[in-house]
């Protein structure tokens, strides 16, 4: 059978990092082993019942059996604006400053295609979410990486970026609370970012995927809470983590009207918006009772506490996560990230994500998702402890 050659755009795409991890995990399961899977970021808790009920009721409405408005229902955009006012004290124009997305990943990939031409430069965090590079590859853009180092709180040091790169940059991606390092950012950091973006005329995209998951009563800061943020960028917010709605594929971009217009334009040519019942359920999530959403955060906080305590018992020294449902753990001396992850899979039947999959500065770490019960998380650590790698 004739084989048709892929486009140059497809050939530019980076390797899907998690596909390799899933393949290794499945192979171990097929051998009959009890594998504790902590390598991915798929929330394990169910969507709150009142949101599911909203979907069920909305699915019966004939208006939701038709094509929806290309750019989403206005009531959902109004709910987004109400949400940002309530949670962050930020005023959003629901008609010009909100774009409904098919999940945050879609929006993050689209933004490069919206704003970058071939040869343009994007500034990306290292380590960072791999799909930032998917979007830049599709746009045939160039990338420069901003190291996220422990000694700097896993924030980029803007003084280390060359003047040439700052002048060439058209787009900067940030993500706090951060995947994979579990670090958080301050308002002062975002203030500094806005000053830099104004000085060098680039757009900032803040990936706020883990917006609700902060610990020790520290609520994560929105980029849009800093003065002038909407002048220079947008924030991407997903319901996947905040409301355990990962499979629903609903998110939104808020901020600079010209960027929102570009997102809407590209989506006009690709989609006919989300199923109306999903939009109604999303509005209920944002504006309804927040008790269940707080329960999700409390659950991750308890898992974090139990997991870090278990690490301490076996002598694995690591910083407690400040945000997200991940832990970013240093590998023992003498191991690469991938070697250590393979060792844990083969000897302890525990899956973790090697840090180098998130960028070169992720080497020396593994990422663990706190996405199983407290008992299973503690069992995973106990299995690792029995390998005798750590001195305790």
How confident is residue 21, by pLDDT bands cut at 50, 70 and 90?
confident
pLDDT in tens, 53-74: 999 999 999 999 999 999 999 9
How confident is residue 225, by pLDDT bands cut at 50, 70 and 90?
very high
Residue 32 is predicted with a pLDDT of 84
Helix axis angle, 291-314 to 374-385, nearest 10° = 20
Indicate whether this model's pTM tops 0.75: yes
Q: How many angstroms from the chain centroid is the CA of residue 213? A: 12
pLDDT at 17 over 90: no
Angle formed at CA 231 by CA 227 and CA 237, multiple of 5 degrees: 80
Which domains are assigned to the chain? Answer: 8-47+292-385 (3.90.1150.10), 49-287 (3.40.640.10)
370, 357 in Cβ contact below 8 A? no
Ranked by mean pLDDT, the top range of 2-6, 9-13, 379-383 is: 379-383
pLDDT in tens, 154-203: 999 999 999 999 999 999 999 999 999 999 999 999 999 999 999 999 99
pLDDT at 42 over 90: no
Distance CA 266, CA 263 (A): 5
B/e letters for 201-221, b = 16+ CB within 10 Å, e = fewer, are ebbbbbbbbbbbbbbeeeebb
How confident is residue 20, by pLDDT bands cut at 50, 70 and 90?
confident
pLDDT at 220 over 70: yes
pLDDT in tens, 247-264: 999 999 999 999 999 999
The pLDDT of 42-49, averaged and rounded, is 93
pLDDT at 243 over 70: yes
What percentage of the chain reaches a pLDDT higher than 90? 88
How confident is residue 275, by pLDDT bands cut at 50, 70 and 90?
very high
Which secondary structure element, helix H or strand E, spans residue 132, and what is its range? helix 131-138
Residue 249 is predicted with a pLDDT of 94
Residue 205 is predicted with a pLDDT of 98
Distance CA 235, CA 252 (A): 8
How confident is residue 31, by pLDDT bands cut at 50, 70 and 90?
confident
Residue 371 is predicted with a pLDDT of 95
Q: Share the mean pLDDT of the chain.
A: 94
Residue 392 is predicted with a pLDDT of 60
How confident is residue 272, by pLDDT bands cut at 50, 70 and 90?
confident
249, 103 in Cβ contact below 8 A? yes
Bond before 127 cis per omega within 30 degrees? yes
Instruction: Give the number of residues written for the chain.
Output: 392
């Amino acid at each position: 059978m004739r084989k048709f050659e892929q486009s140059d755009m497809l050939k530019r795409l980076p390797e899907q990092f998690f596909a390799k991890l899933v393949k290794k995990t499945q192979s171990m399961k097929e051998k009959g082993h009890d594998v504790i899977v902590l390598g991915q970021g798929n929330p394990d808790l169910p969507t709150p019942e009142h949101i599911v009920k909203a979907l069920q009721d909305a699915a019966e409405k004939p208006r939701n059996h038709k094509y929806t408005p290309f750019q989403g229902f206005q009531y959902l955009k109004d709910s987004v604006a109400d949400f940002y006012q309530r949670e962050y004290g930020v005023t959003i124009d629901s008609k010009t400053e909100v774009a409904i997305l098919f999940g945050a990943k879609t929006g993050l990939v689209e933004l490069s295609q919206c704003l970058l031409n071939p040869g343009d430069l994007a500034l990306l965090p290292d380590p960072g979410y791999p799909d930032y590079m998917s979007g830049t590859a599709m746009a045939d853009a160039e990338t420069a990486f901003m190291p996220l180092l422990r000694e700097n709180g896993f924030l980029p040091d803007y003084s280390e970026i060359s003047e040439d790169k700052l002048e060439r940059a058209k787009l900067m991606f940030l993500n706090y609370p951060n995947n994979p390092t579990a670090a958080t950012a301050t308002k002062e950091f975002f203030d500094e970012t806005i000053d830099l973006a104004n000085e060098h005329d680039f757009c900032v995209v803040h990936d706020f995927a883990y917006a609700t998951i902060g610990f020790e009563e520290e609520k994560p800061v929105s980029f849009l809470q800093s003065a002038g943020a909407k002048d220079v960028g947008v924030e991407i917010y997903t319901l996947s983590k905040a409301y355990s709605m990962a499979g629903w594929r609903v998110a939104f971009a808020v901020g600079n009207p010209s960027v929102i217009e570009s997102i809407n334009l590209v989506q006009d040519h690709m989609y006919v918006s989300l199923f109306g019942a999903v939009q109604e359920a999303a509005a209920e999530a944002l504006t309804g009772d927040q008790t269940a959403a707080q329960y999700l955060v409390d659950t991750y906080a308890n898992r974090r506490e139990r997991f870090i305590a278990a690490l301490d018992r076996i002598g694995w020294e690591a910083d407690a996560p400040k945000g997200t449902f991940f832990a970013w753990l240093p590998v023992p001396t003498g191991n690469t990230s991938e070697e250590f992850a393979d060792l844990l899979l083969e000897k302890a039947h525990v899956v973790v994500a090697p840090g180098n999959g998130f960028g070169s500065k992720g080497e020396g770490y593994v990422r663990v998702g706190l996405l199983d019960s407290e008992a299973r998380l503690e069992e995973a650590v106990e299995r690792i402890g029995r390998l005798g790698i750590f001195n305790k």
